[in-house]
């Protein structure tokens, strides 16, 4: 029966989201501890999980379309619509539970992704500032009105229009 397969695929997708959460937390630990030499490995593992997740999502979408058509819904019906239209009471609860879990996991992953991105931006900025400090003082320049450094930018104590 297609609904059993759909439920199994939803479980598989939830497991992959758990692994993705773990890998993003691992990546965050590397970022916060300054162990950047392992960051490439962590990022590669995240990409591998995302690839598996993409395939699982495609399989789930195909199976959900089969279930939707079986239940008289459009083939692009959402998981929430499937849960609402489930002919048996238990399947409605199962699909609603999957939807709630997937929503929670997705929100957590988004939060981790955003946090990791902020850590990376901070690390890049810190690295750029450290490298700028290594240049000879005469070539370093100062910050311009846009917050960028440039060798032609000079400090000014007066308005150039006067």
pLDDT digits (tens, 9 = 90+) for 109-151: 999 999 999 988 887 887 788 777 776 554 455 667 777 765 5
Sketch out the chain's domains with CATH numbers: 2-135 (1.20.58)
Nearest-angstrom CA–CA distance, 148 and 10: 48
* Ramachandran assignment for 147, one of left (phi > 0), alpha (psi -120 to 50 degrees), beta (any other): left
Residues near 77 by beta carbon (within 8 Å), at least 6 away in sequence: 64, 65, 68, 85
H helices of 71-88, in order, are: 79-85
Band of the pLDDT at 159, cuts 50, 70, 90?
Answer: low
State pLDDT tens for residues 82-113.
999 998 779 999 999 999 999 999 999 999 99
**Paired strand residues for 150:** 142
The structure's pTM equals 0.76
> What's the whole-number average pLDDT of the chain?
87
pLDDT for position 152? 54
């Amino acid at each position: 029966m297609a609904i059993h397969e759909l439920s199994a695929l939803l479980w598989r997708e939830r497991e992959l989201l758990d692994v993705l959460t773990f890998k993003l937390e691992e990546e965050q630990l590397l970022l916060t501890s300054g162990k950047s030499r392992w960051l490439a490995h962590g990022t590669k593992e995240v990409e591998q999980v995302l690839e598996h997740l993409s395939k699982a999502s495609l399989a789930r979408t195909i199976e959900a379309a089969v279930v939707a058509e079986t239940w008289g819904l459009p083939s692009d019906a959402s998981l929430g619509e499937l849960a609402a239209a489930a002919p048996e009471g238990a399947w409605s609860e199962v699909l609603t539970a999957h939807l709630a879990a997937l929503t929670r996991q997705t929100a957590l992953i988004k939060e981790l992704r955003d946090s990791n991105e902020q850590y990376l931006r901070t690390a890049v900025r810190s690295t750029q500032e450290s490298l700028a400090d290594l240049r000879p003082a005469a070539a370093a320049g100062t910050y311009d009105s846009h917050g960028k450094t440039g060798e032609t930018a000079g400090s000014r104590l007066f308005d150039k229009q006067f």
